[in-house]
Amino acid sequence: MELYFLGTGAGMPSKQRNVTSIALNLLDERGTYWLFDCGEGTQHQILHSPVKLGRTEKLFITHLHGDHLYGIPGMLTSRSYLGGDTPLTVYGPVGVKSFIDTALGVSGAHLSYTLKVVEIQEEGLLFEDETFRVETARLEHRIECFGYRIIEKDLAGKLMLDKLSELGVPAGPIYGKLKQGQTVQLEDGRVLQGADFVGAPVPGRKVVVLGDTRYCSGAVHLAQGADVLIHEATFAMDKQELAYAFDHATSVDAARTAEEAGVDTLIMTHISSRYQGEETNLLLQEAQSIHPNSHIAKDFWSFDIPRKV
């Protein structure tokens, strides 16, 4: 599991940062990528990245401001041109379907795959299968905006091979049954309980991606205990009034949210173009004074999320 930042700027693209888009690399977990937001130029950013459009499975849109969705039509059609033929699901606030249908309809676009659009009506569970669960909650922004909590389900513990070997249990189908927690009777009459030979489950990882928001209880709730929190930090603390007026967050707001939620790693993005080069160090220093394990993302930067064994 790895995060890859395709665009980390706020409002409009700059020479240093494109507008918002983040990829979650799940190739090892499910052979796919998930995208979060798709600002203008996202498909161009993908051309310079390891992300493969044809292997993109889901796109989560946080809100309907242009710097978070103007790249959708180009991304969807390019996926067809590149041979993408597996289904793609887009999640987002009410209105995202109308935006997509209008753009594709007016341009006469034809997709080579099944496109499903899910408009979010309420907070809570959005998606679940045998490997992942995705939850969503409202944030505080000028228009309806959502954050997403991605929960990897726990992996089964490892089979205690040394213990089985010491007991003289022969390898084979028996091992598989014990791994599944079944009760097995050996030829010599011994009865083995699967639970006695399987280690503790390996905890799944939790990643929280927030859309634009000022500091709010919804963000703190959604981020509880996350391994990684991706939070906007449009401004430094000296622009607190400006941030609040436009429903955005400062680096201090982001760090405060991470600290209160017990987050491990905070990654700040959606950085105003007024902060260039070394000027972003001010945002980082402000955040690290509250939450030491904080980072500022930049375009084409990746962050690996290891399992906690």
Side-chain half-sphere CA neighbours of 34 within 13 A: 23
Q: Is 141 annotated as a binding residue?
A: yes
Q: Is 44 annotated as a binding residue?
A: no
Task: Return the SS3 of 143.
Answer: coil
Task: Return the SS3 of 46.
Answer: helix
Q: Is 231 annotated as a binding residue?
A: no
- The tokens for 143 are 């228009």
Task: Return the SS3 of 35.
Answer: strand
Residue 173 CB partners (closer than 8 Å, separation 6+): none
Task: Return the SS3 of 4.
Answer: strand
Burial of 125 (0-12, 13-18, 19+ CB in 10 A): exposed
- 67 a catalytic residue: yes
- The tokens for 261 are 């939620």
Contact (CB, 8 A) for 213 and 167: no
Sign of CA pseudo-dihedral 287, 243, 139, 209: negative
Q: Is 248 annotated as a binding residue?
A: no
- The tokens for 100 are 């997509």
Find the catalytic residue in 37, 67, 227, 253: 67
What are the residue numbers of the active site? 67
Residue ranges for the known binding site for Zn(2+) are 63, 65, 67-68, 141, 212, 270
